[in-house]
Structure 1
Amino acid sequence: MNIIVTGSLGHISRPLTQELVQKGHTVTVISSNPERQKDIEGIGAKAAIGTMEDADFLSATFKGADIVYLMEALGSRTFFDQNLDLIAAHNKIASNYAEAILQSGVKRAVHLSSIGAHTDKGNGILAFHHEVENILNKLPSDIAITFMRPVGFYYNTLAFIPTIKAQGAIISNYGGDDKEPWVSPIDIAAAIAEEMEIHQPVNRKIRYVASDELSPNEVAGILGEAIGKPDLKWLAITDEQLLDNLKAAGMNPQIAAGYVEMNASRRGGILYEDYYRNKPILGKVKLTDFAKEFAAAFFKS
């Protein structure tokens, strides 16, 4: 098949592209960075240099494709852009994707959504995924769309490294012994590739992806063991304290408030209510596997 992959060679797009190429598919990877072209071609794919904000570029690139893999990516540093409207920016990209699909005639899409996309309330910054799904759902019913909803990524724990080094603990506005799902990008990529090879896809499908289920305290134990701190603790602070910390670090106030609300939704069960109604088979990559990568990043920083 002729497959378009957005997201350059990111955490998901790289292993996805590698798997699709190995299976004999023709893959074109969209990247906004011309310097990525050599790397893309090095793993056997074609490079299309352009941006998600350019609907005409997307339309031309999508033309002739059997399937497109869609994701919205702004980059974590944009969270410190004081003028960014997070939801508006993602909605614009989603609208460009919808236009490009219509203009190009593509009939299948796999979209990277997220846990929390089932609702527009109480989920903080994840609300934009709900809005993006709604935009894509307005496409004609003869266009098959699979919405992938992964849970919290393992690599998000890398953000804990500074507080571990400075204060000797993982610090957030949730914690405790209640298990929650985590996921590896490798398992997400495998699930996407699996969906792409379904010969008769349904018009609309939602698939959750998870690799492991662990409590915050268990996460602290595994990561602590990996970095030689077996007594590492996960400490819960108040929403107000975390919000103040994020603002002090320079985060966009709207995004900081959304981040705090997202974490708070982990405490009350709002975030995971639809996940547990549609619980997937867990993937192969466990947190103990990722802990080696965490340790390498910890000692390098």
Structure 2
Amino acid sequence: MKATVTGSLGNISRVLIERLVASGHEIKVISSDSGKAKEIEKLGAVPLTGSLTDAEFVSRSFEDADAVYTMVPPDFSVPDYYDFADQIHQNYVRAIEQHNIRYAVNLSSIGVAVAGIAPLSRYYNLEQRLNGVTGLNVVHLRPAMFYTNFYGGLGPAKHQGIIGHNVGGTVDLLMTHPADIADAAFSFLNSLSFSGQQIEYVISDIRNGNGIAEMLGSAIDKPLNWVEFPDDALLAGLLQNGFSQDAAENLIVNAGKAIREGLFDEFKKDQYGVSGSRKFPGFAKEFAMAYQFPG
């Protein structure tokens, strides 16, 4: 199989590339960073350097592919993330139709299930455009909050002994390890046995904030307290760290509000369950390794 993978060498795509190459597939990898080219080649894949907002580049990158793995890069500094994501998906659709590609695995989000409902009124539905492509067999992977988001809390953990979000410590959080997403993507791309339009929820664990703080604190051998940040304080912190107002409000702050309001409670029930194999205590060890670095 020939496949084009987006996402450069991110937490999901790197694992996916390695597994696809090891299984004998011919893989091209899109990256906006030319400095990643040699590393991509070392993995046995072909690097393609350019921007996903460039329709002609995307079209050339999808040429001759039997299947594609699509995602929107987490560039949260763009002024309007909704328009940014929409432009990329328009380019995906155009390229898929031009080259008559019949299989796609798309990184979506559990948030899509409640997109358009306040407070997620501006949450972008990553699935609609691909579902409109005639003859395309597509699987939408819907993960929850990434474990790796907690790396953003390394500073407060080190210097203040806290970790948190704009939800209370007793609220259960649906979470996903990026490698579990890569495993799911690989299972579909390796066989290309899916048809029509499918949704695959990828949830690795469900823990509340207090439990998360306890596990991370145990891993770094330092007590941590879970803090429920006020919405305006969380927003200010995100803006200070380079997020655009649009991305900070609609993807982070409002997602926390949606959790508080119970919009995701339905997905904690048995019919969805926990499908990922990597539980949070295992990630706590990864967090502890990152904690050792200066900063």
Tell me the TM-score normalized by structure 2.
0.91
Q: Which residue of 1 aligns with 2:244?
A: 252
Q: CA deviation at 1:199?
A: 4.3
Mapped partners of 2:267, 2:208: distance in 1? 19
Secondary structure in structure 2 of the residue aligned to 1:116:
helix
Matched, 1:121 2:117: yes
The 5-angstrom pairing of residues 170-181 of structure 1 reads 170-181=163-174
CA distance in 2, matches of 1:208, 1:90: 21
Tell me whether 1:101 sits opposite 2:96 in the alignment: yes
| Secondary structure at the counterpart of residue 47 of structure 2 | strand
Structure 1 residues 6 and 123 mapped into 2: Cα distance closer, same or farther (>3 Å)? farther
Q: How does 1:76-225 map to 2 (within 5 A)?
A: 76=76, 78=77, 84-118=79-113, 119-122=115-118, 124=120, 127-128=123-124, 130=125, 132-140=126-134, 142-225=135-218
- Equivalent position SS for 2:117: coil
Partners of 2:130 and 2:271 lie apart in 1 by 21
Q: Which amino acid aligns with 1:159?
A: G
1:155 and 1:74, CA in 2 relative to 1: closer, same or farther beyond 3 A?
closer
Q: CA deviation at 1:244?
A: 4.2
1:234 paired with 2:226, answer yes
The AA in structure 2 aligned to 1:190 is D
Task: Verify: 1:262 aligned to 2:258, yes or no.
Answer: no
Once the two structures are TM-superposed, the CA of residue 275 in structure 1 deviates from its matched residue by 6.2
In structure 1, what is the Cα distance between the partners aligned to 2:241 and 2:17?
35
* Distance (Å, rounded) in 2 between the aligned partners of 1:201 and 1:74: 27
TM-superposed CA distance for 1:211, in Å, is 1.4
- The 3-state SS of whatever aligns with 2:110 is coil
RMSD over aligned Cα atoms: 2.1
The structural deviation recorded for 1:92 is 0.3
Q: Describe the SS at the equivalent of 1:120.
A: coil
Counterpart Cα distance in 2 of 1:163 and 1:72: 28
After superposition, give the CA deviation of every residue in 1:148-177 in whole Å (9 maximum; x if it has no partner): 011111110011122223322113210222
Distance 1:277 1:85, change over 3 A: farther
Q: Which amino acid aligns with 2:88?
A: I
Q: CA distance change for structure 1 residues 245 and 37 in 2, over 3 Å: closer, same or farther?
A: closer
One-letter amino acid matched to 2:43:
I
Gaps of 5+ in 2: none
Q: TM-score, normalised by structure 1?
A: 0.90
Cα distance in structure 2, aligned partners of 1:138 and 1:275: 29
Unmatched tracts of structure 1, length 5 or more: none
Offset from partner CA, 1:216-255 (integer Å, 9 cap, x none): 11110110011111x3110213323433444565643333
Q: 1:47 to 1:248 in 2, by over 3 A?
A: closer
Alignment-derived partner of residue 282 in structure 1: 275
Aligned residues: 292
